[in-house]
Amino acid sequence: MAALPLRHAGRRALGLGRRLGGMSAQDVTALTQAKTAEQIFNVLGELKGGAMKLGQALSVFESVLPDEMAGPYRESLTKLQDSAPPMAIESVHQVLAENLGENWRDRFTSFDDEPAAAASIGQVHRAIWHDGREVAVKVQYPGASGALLADLQQLSRFGRLFAGFFPGIDVRSILRELTDCVSEELDYLHESQMQRKFAVGFDGDPDYFVPHVLAAAENVIITEWVEGKSLARLIESGTQKERDHFGKMYLRFLLSAPSRVGLLHADPHPGNFKVMPDGRLAILDFGATALLPDGLPAAMGTLLKIALVGDAETVVAGLREEGFIRPGIELEAQSLLDYLGPFTEPAQVEIFKHSRDWIREQFQRTSDPRNADWSIGTKINLPPNYVLIHRVWMGSIGVLCQLESEFSVRDEFAQWVPGFADKVSN
């Protein structure tokens, strides 16, 4: 990681030489950015901890990048979403012994030492529980707590470098959010409690499956096994029919969970969602959740509906009341309405086609200082109770654009977002 800025500087120096040799400035810049971006994701894909956490968070926004940049390392992004280098089996056994006791093997009839999956702070092993059920044993890496915090602090120093390759994305804010969520994600007992609530709330659902927790300790969670392929693989090679259907199911889960279980799943990257052989969508990893006992804020749907009918002044007043616009901040109402395009446009039509071209256009419009809409973003405040909601909403839009899903977002809002109960006519 420390070598990245130096190598980037070296490429810029090499680019200067190429310009002197007759290569256009535009071509040199594109080549330098592509090489550095490729290296960033190769590095992030080879690491665990904070580096992989950041890589997963950024991978959700891959669809905003131009094809010439995203193409060379799209496979690295896919790997970041559902795999990482495994830890030594001796370390796994040590964690199991410390958390389940020296006789931990007695709990299983078999335990596969080869990891089935590895992620940023832990990895999963397949096993057979003592009652014959197939289970997933999630084991946290030794020393993950201190290492993850140290990683994120180190990564914050590279925020400006990363930001250069993600137009419209505040990488430093993402790092701050990740740091704020670290304690919850490292607490497997807390995660197990959240997963139990989701599992009970979705138990027997014909469309979704949340694996039940069989046992949990500080650094180990044992749950029902889930067979299937992740949405990351669907992005890579799914049919359009699959992309449309499971894109809709993905959004519906994120929107419906607050009203069904009083919780928001706050880690929407594709590796946490698996398409099962029976067609259900399985949801994994509940380390990042937001408590919403009353469901999504009612003002959220009301303001969306008002925005769709073009009442800009009322939207501004509503955003002030919710704390999005601080006292004394003035902005042009119609410009604000235009700035909210990524949130409102999908519900403006009966059927919306998510696409990389669309999301790139939105991000370029709202992140380029040369555009009038750009300044709006500097005047908007994000209230604390909306931080994770915003993270999930933005992340889900990015994933849906990677899937290039086509379905009625309007219908999903009408069913699951309070205050948006009635369809809006154009």
* Chain segment 21-70, per-residue pLDDT in tens: 445 555 545 555 556 555 655 555 445 555 555 566 665 566 666 665 55
In this structure, are 115 and 218 located in the same domain?
A: yes
In this structure, are 133 and 53 located in the same domain?
A: no
In this structure, are 104 and 213 located in the same domain?
A: yes
Domain tally, the chain: 3
**By the 8 A CB rule, do 269 and 59 touch?**
yes
In a domain, residue 20? The reply is: yes
In this structure, are 23 and 118 located in the same domain?
A: no
Catalytic residue among 267, 278, 357, 368: 267
- Domain encompassing residue 327: 298-416
Q: What is the pLDDT of residues 217-230, one digit of tens each?
A: 999 999 999 999 99
In this structure, are 8 and 36 located in the same domain?
A: yes
In a domain, residue 259? The reply is: no
| CATH number, position 98 | 3.30.200.20
In this structure, are 322 and 403 located in the same domain?
A: yes
- pLDDT at position 301 is 87
In this structure, are 70 and 102 located in the same domain?
A: no
Three-state helix/strand/coil letters over 47-87: CCHHHHHHHHHHHCCHHHCCHHHHHHHHHHHHHHHHCCCCC
In this structure, are 220 and 98 located in the same domain?
A: yes
Using the predicted structure, report yes or no on whether residue 99 has a pLDDT greater than 80.
yes
Q: How far is CA 3 from CA 99, 161, 217, 315, 328, in A?
A: 37, 12, 38, 46, 44
The pLDDT of 127-153, averaged and rounded, is 82
Q: How big is the CA angle at 267 (ends 262 and 268), to the nearest 5 degrees?
A: 100
Pairwise pLDDT comparison (426 vs 389), residue with the higher score:
389
Q: Which residues contact 6 (CB under 8 A, 6 or more apart)?
A: none
In this structure, are 196 and 139 located in the same domain?
A: yes
In a domain, residue 135? The reply is: yes
In a domain, residue 262? The reply is: no
Mean pLDDT of the chain: 79
In this structure, are 382 and 317 located in the same domain?
A: yes
| 267 catalytic residue (yes or no) | yes
Pairwise pLDDT comparison (108 vs 299), residue with the higher score:
108
In a domain, residue 265? The reply is: no
Model pTM score: 0.78
In a domain, residue 131? The reply is: yes
In this structure, are 12 and 96 located in the same domain?
A: no
In a domain, residue 376? The reply is: yes
Using the predicted structure, report yes or no on whether residue 9 has a pLDDT greater than 60.
no
The residue written with tokens 């119609």 in the block is 334
In this structure, are 305 and 325 located in the same domain?
A: yes
In a domain, residue 326? The reply is: yes
